[in-house]
Each structure stands twice: as structure tokens, then as C-alpha cells.
Chains A and B, each alone.
Chain A
């Protein structure tokens, strides 16, 4: 029986961000940094095959590993080297899930003809253009900008921009960026990613990809929950001077 998540680790994180909490600047920044890191991590795992460096990072960092409860106890970890795990299990699973049998592109889920929009008319690509977010499809090795890994990376970039605005004390700018994050989740990731990720969970052949899908799904929904709460205050954090 597979363990149901990462939820507990996420719950701890979001309790810190819960509505009504009074934050000091450092707490706001560290919470924002955590959001950035999780978006970066799930984006990377769902975009391409893992390499030894990434797998060792996950396995050797207690905090990151806490998001992967089934990977923690995966018996193959004790029996094989990282390289063999990747070559014999993880790459095979990635290929099955993301390249062969499931569809990680938003347009497939949103179009009645179940086709994928790879051109400039892709609504997600048009949105990226508005924000000058350039997707190097060949480097990312994806066919379109509405790949789940790219959409999560876009969220990472938005969170990073919000982090910089908070660092500079530009709270109105940070609130504007948080509003864009909210809208992107609402109109895109929350709409289609659960359909894809639930199938990844049910079809994953390895603990890593089961946990990664579970983490991505729980994180997208809990981050949307968090932003929805911030919506009530026009996405504004309390400025440090107000929180004193």
C-alpha cells in the first residue's frame, strides 16, 4: 500500500503561511523561498529524466526526502547504485509516463479534438509571451510550452519575481505578481493537472514518480488554497512595519 503523501510535510509548510499569521520580513521571505524551491523541484522532476546529481540531492536531503515517503522506504534503494536505479527503473518509468502513455500537455485536456497545440496559438504560450517568459523547447526537450514541467517552471519564475519584490520592500508589486500566480493556477494548472497527475499516480511503476505526482498535485492545490486566502486581502502581505 502506497503512502498517501508528502501531505504532512506540506501541511507543516502551509500552517506557517495560514491566514491571519503575523509575519516578519524574514518569515515572509523564507516561506516564499520554500514555495520557489518546491515549484523548481517538481518542475524539474516532471520535465526530464532524473540524473544522478538530482537523485542524490533528493535522497540525501532530509527535508526534500520528507516529501517522498515511498521513496524513503523503496527497497531497491538499498540494493542498487544510484546510476543503476536511474537506468534500470526510473528512466523506464519516466518514458512510460511522460513520453509514451500519458499526455503531459494542457491543450490535450482543454480541446474537444484532444489535439495538442504546439504553435503560437497555444493560449499558454501567448500568456508566456506577455510576460516575456521564453521557453527553449529543444533544451527542455518538450513539444510545447503547455507541458506540465514548463507550467510549473513558469510558476517558479513568478514566485522568484515575487520574492525579489518582497526583498526590495516592493509590496504592491509582490501583490500584483501573486495575483498573476493565482490566476495562472486557477485558469490552467488547477484545471487540468489533476487529471494528468491522478493517472500518473495510478500508473507509476516506481516510488519516485508516484511520490512526485502526489507532491505536485497536493502542492498545486495547497498553493492555490494559500493564494485564494491571500486574495481576500488583495494578495498583500502585511508589511513588516505594519506587523510590528
Chain B
């Protein structure tokens, strides 16, 4: 084995380590479940609204289930991403999408109300909560934009 082989082996090992160190804590969806067969807005919402760091809000599995229940839709608790896709698959008409967007916005508003309560009670944390509220407002605008662009 020469030095080049050793270097290749090291690169492969480092790549493997890197991929293993990024775990799908919520469960991974498989390649077959990629967004290729879905409309663009689904991937867009998953990328722009679902990550807490982007929307300032954590939509848990129970949140998704509760939002769906408000629309008389029911699905089992599962991998969060898969639950999100099932919820989006429920959308059949522009009216459905409007209802779904409204449910997301209601959840966001409910959490922002809690952020405001805590930031009033603990002023030193206000900057952190305010940043989340700003992100949440942007997420709501993004949902409206998706609705207008894809459903009207």
C-alpha cells in the first residue's frame, strides 16, 4: 500500500465519520422518499419553515398531529418529516392549502404569544425571544407567499 492509497483511505474514513456524526434524530427519510416526486412548495416549506433556526418555532410531531386534527385529518405519529409530507399530501384544493397555512400561522402565533410573555417577565432574554418572533413573522409571510404563488 503506498502513500496515495493511505491518503485515499484516510479521506474515505473522514467522510464516513462526518456522515455518521450527523444523526437524524427525528428519523431519516430514505432516498426514495426525497422531494423529487412532490410539488416544489412542499420542499420549500420544509426547508424554510420547519427548521426551528429559520422560523423561530419548533413544530413537533404532536404539533403536526394537532394541526391536522383541527382539519379533521388524522395520521399516526411517525418520523417528523414523513408526518409533514402526509399533512401536505392532504392538500387537494387551494382552499385546503389556505386552511393548512392558517393552521401553521395559528401555531406560530400561539408560540409567539408565549415568547412575549416570557420576554416581559425576563427582560434579559427579550433579545433572544424578539429574534424568534421576527423569524416567525417572516415564516408566516413565507407561507402566504407560497399560497399566492402556487395556489392562486
Number of B residues near A (Cβ < 8 Å) is 34
Known: A114-B26, A198-B58. 16 other contacts (CB 8 A): A103-B25, A109-B58, A111-B53, A114-B50, A115-B24, A116-B24, A116-B25, A118-B20, A119-B17, A120-B21, A190-B125, A194-B115, A194-B118, A198-B114, A203-B60, A222-B122
Is A127 part of the binding interface, using a Cβ–Cβ cutoff of 8 Å? no
Min CB–CB distance A103 → chain B (angstroms): 5
Is B150 part of the binding interface, using a Cβ–Cβ cutoff of 8 Å? no
Q: What would 9 A/B residue contacts be, using CB atoms closer than 8 Å?
A: A103-B58, A112-B47, A114-B50, A114-B51, A119-B17, A194-B115, A195-B57, A217-B118, A221-B124
Min CB–CB distance B66 → chain A (angstroms): 9
Partner of B60, one of A111, A120, A199: A199
Q: Report whether B121 and A221 are in contact in the complex, using a CB–CB cutoff of 8 Å.
A: yes
What is the count of residue pairs linking A and B with beta-carbon distances less than 8 angstroms?
95
Quick one: which of B2-54 are within 8 Å of A by CB?
A: 17-18, 20-26, 47, 50-54
| Interface SS majority for chain B | helix
Query: Which residues on B sit within 8 Å (CB–CB) of A121?
Result: 18, 21
With A105-B25, A191-B128, A199-B60 as known contacts, state yes or no: A119 contacts B20, CB within 8 Å: yes
Query: Which residues on A sit within 8 Å (CB–CB) of B24?
Result: 115-116
Chain B residues within CB distance 8 Å of chain A: 17-18, 20-26, 47, 50-54, 57-58, 60-63, 77, 111, 114-115, 118, 121-125, 128-129, 132
Give the docked Cα–Cα distance between A45 and B57 (Å): 24
Query: Which residues on A sit within 8 Å (CB–CB) of B125?
Result: 190, 194, 221, 224-225
Contact-size category for A: 35 or more
Is A141 part of the binding interface, using a Cβ–Cβ cutoff of 8 Å? no
Is A196 part of the binding interface, using a Cβ–Cβ cutoff of 8 Å? yes
Is A101 part of the binding interface, using a Cβ–Cβ cutoff of 8 Å? yes
Min CB–CB distance B94 → chain A (angstroms): 28
Chain A residues within CB distance 8 Å of chain B: 100-103, 105, 108-122, 143-144, 186, 190-192, 194-196, 198-199, 202-203, 217, 221-222, 224-225, 228
Q: Report whether B128 and A190 are in contact in the complex, using a CB–CB cutoff of 8 Å.
A: yes
With A111-B51, A196-B58 as known contacts, state yes or no: A118 contacts B21, CB within 8 Å: yes
Interchain residue pairs A-B with the least CB separation, the first 4: A119-B21, A228-B124, A116-B25, A221-B122
